[in-house]
Amino acid sequence: MGEADATVPAATTARNVEVNAYAIAATLSPKELATRLGRPPALRVSKVHALLCYEPSASYVVIHDFGAIVFFDVPEAERRRVLDVLTTHVKDEPRSQSVEDFTIRVEPGAVPTAKFDRLIVGELTPAVAEVVAHVIGQSVGMEYYESDVDGILAKIDEFTAQVATQGRFRGALRDLTRFIGTAMRLRNRVVTTLALLDDPAATWDDEALHGVYRGLRLSFAIEDRYVALDRKVSMIQDSLEMMVDLTRHTRSMVLEVGVFLLILFEVVLFLFK
């Protein structure tokens, strides 16, 4: 697992490279999983991502620590093998995967250009693969949470509707407490994932790669989706604070009623004697 890029064959004719991205968990360990896969060998491995390359075809796999994995021109059978290895190490999230597909057009000598449905590059280098995987990984990672966040907001709306019409929550207090815990856990995971959406290191000193990165972010509407998801998370935060306060109030009322009934029982018992 070296830090330097391995030598990959340069393209001599135009070709399309299919990119397939999956979000399978809230977190992954790139270092551990790069070792467990056995193949392909790793070009670069860090705490936040691992770049692996099938030689001599220059097909890539990129594993992100926020739970996304991106394949470049990897046959379906091999993708399934890699995903099977990864999902066996996802301990507490037996849930469906989020999937996103993209196309890179490799045209020797072409100026890197990001379009709505594809990216045109002169050569698919490891650095280009890392930048593309970073953006598509962000996209599929946010998609992984978008449905869950919408589900939590819908459930919160049900609770608030009960309070508005009945003046209280309906159902067991334990169920409400369990829901609050689930919502807080999801909120924390989303906040952690969004915090990782910084520019990749490969773009810091390469103007062309930085242009590719910015163009792809526009194509995938990363900024707009980030803002929308962040607002929803903030709504969950505010709603949870209200629900926690109401839960505390309900618990205190239960305790007060219990104390009152106990005192009443002692008074009745005294009078009876």
Condensed to tens digits (0 to 9), the pLDDT of residues 64-114 reads: 988 899 999 999 999 999 998 888 877 655 455 678 899 999 999 898 888
Residue 5, pLDDT > 60, answer no
Residue 8, pLDDT > 70, answer no
> What stretches of 24-72 adopt beta strand conformation (E)?
42-45, 49-54, 59-64, 68-72
Report the predicted TM-score, pTM, of the whole model to 2 decimal places: 0.76
Domain boundaries, the chain: 15-123, 140-256
Q: Which one is predicted more confidently, 207 or 21?
A: 21
Predicted pLDDT at 69: 93
Residue 138, pLDDT > 70, answer yes
Q: How far apart are the C-alpha atoms of 30 and 33, rounded to whole Å? A: 5
Residue 195, pLDDT > 70, answer no
Q: Mind listing the pLDDT tens digit for each residue in 198-235?
A: 677 777 778 888 888 989 988 888 888 888 888 888 88
Q: How far apart are the C-alpha atoms of 66 and 102, rounded to whole Å? A: 20
Predicted pLDDT at 121: 92
For 15-123, give the CATH class: alpha beta
Predicted pLDDT at 70: 95
Q: How far apart are the C-alpha atoms of 16 and 233, rounded to whole Å? A: 38
Parallel, antiparallel or unpaired: strands 98-106 and 118-121: parallel
Residue 197, pLDDT > 80, answer no
29: alpha, beta or left? (left if phi > 0; alpha if psi -120 to 50): beta
Q: What's the one-letter identity of residue 105?
A: R
Predicted pLDDT at 11: 47
Residue 61, pLDDT > 70, answer yes
